[in-house]
Amino acid sequence: MSGTRRVVWFSCGAASALAAHMTLKKWRNKCEVALVYTDPGSEHEDNKRFLRECEEWLQHPVTVLKSRKYADTWDVFEKTRWLVGPAGARCTGELKKALRHEFQDIDRDVQIFGYTCEERTRAQRLMDNNPEIVAEYPLIDGNLTKADCLAAIRQAGIELPEMYKLGYRNNNCIGCVKGQSGYWNKIRRDFPDVFERMAGIERDIGAAICKSYAGDGIRKKVFLDELPPDAGIYEAEPDIECGILCQIAMQDETCDE
């Protein structure tokens, strides 16, 4: 029977941590609650510290799922020779979505997603394109913003993950293939080794993450080793989606200039 287990998809981000807190407060003594983190292997090392502190705050363990086939996103890129395209990113499918499908029990789970009130459209797309799942969005129901989530984590006495402190809007993998020019130039400054490694993989595969448009509307590849250091404005670029909606979101949010 659906509803006998609440599954909170914890991402080591502020929003999912607050969603976990709200879910446990409401359901801890009423049904089984599972906090689940799909570890892609390429996120900032500080995420391990954040996860441990959240477990202490929530007084509840986080189940960590990790691919048995791929070590991290780099392993996916090198073995599949695929980065990102209109259908989304192969790394998300292999390291997150596949693990979620393996863990979930459609017949009894209510799945909890940490979408904030700014992300109502994404939540609706999830429901429209995944009618088989039952989902709840406690942050949207509470009309909570991303800023509210960050403030709540600080108030709980937990230091925010390092990627937030570096100015990233999401706590995704370092060097996300769904990022645009401004994002990649920020990665160039903050993590030059990651930038150089991705630039090399692009050339090896023959695929470029970023694109530009000529005056006639023709799309052109822009390899990272050709990307002008002042290209793009990270703060103005669309949020990077990484999760069950990745393949859908990427149809509208490709890495274009």
Contact status, residue 171 vs residue 161, Cβ threshold 8 Å: yes
Residue reference for tokens 């292999």: 94
The CATH homologous superfamily for domain 5-160 is: HUPs (3.40.50.620)
Question: Is residue 241 very low, low, confident or very high in pLDDT (cuts 50, 70, 90)?
Answer: low
Span 169-197, pLDDT tens digits: 888 899 999 999 999 999 999 999 999 99
Nearest Cα neighbor of 9 from 100, 126, 95 is: 100
Question: Is residue 47 very low, low, confident or very high in pLDDT (cuts 50, 70, 90)?
Answer: very high
Contact status, residue 143 vs residue 165, Cβ threshold 8 Å: no
Whether residue 153 is predicted with pLDDT greater than 90 in this model: the reply is yes
**Please, what is the average pLDDT of the chain?**
89
- Using CB atoms within 10 A of its CB, is residue 191 exposed (0-12), middle (13-18) or buried (19+)? middle
| Eight-state DSSP code of residue 87 | T
Q: Are strands 62-65 and 32-38 parallel, antiparallel or unpaired?
A: parallel
pLDDT at 217: 62
More confident: 220 or 176: 176
Contact status, residue 229 vs residue 185, Cβ threshold 8 Å: yes
Span 9-22, pLDDT tens digits: 999 999 999 999 99
Residue reference for tokens 């990627």: 163
pLDDT at 100: 92
More confident: 167 or 251: 167
Span 123-148, pLDDT tens digits: 999 899 889 999 999 999 999 999 99
Spatial distance between the Cα atoms of 179 and 182, rounded to a whole number of angstroms: 8
**DSSP of 11-43:** -SSHHHHHHHHHHHHHHTTTSEEEEEEE--S-S
| Eight-state DSSP code of residue 77 | H
Contact status, residue 72 vs residue 172, Cβ threshold 8 Å: no
- Using CB atoms within 10 A of its CB, is residue 85 exposed (0-12), middle (13-18) or buried (19+)? middle
Nearest Cα neighbor of 3 from 109, 101, 107, 132 is: 109
Nearest Cα neighbor of 256 from 85, 95, 93 is: 85
Whether residue 7 is predicted with pLDDT greater than 90 in this model: the reply is yes
Q: What dihedral do alpha carbons 98, 41, 152, 186 form, nearest 10°?
A: -110
pLDDT at 108: 95
pLDDT at 91: 94
Question: Is residue 216 very low, low, confident or very high in pLDDT (cuts 50, 70, 90)?
Answer: low
For Cα atoms 215, 224, 246, give the angle at the middle one, nearest 5 degrees: 85
- Of 2-6, 51-55, 149-153, the range with the lowest mean pLDDT is 2-6
Span 61-116, pLDDT tens digits: 999 999 999 999 999 999 999 998 877 799 999 999 999 999 999 999 999 999 99
Question: Is residue 2 very low, low, confident or very high in pLDDT (cuts 50, 70, 90)?
Answer: low
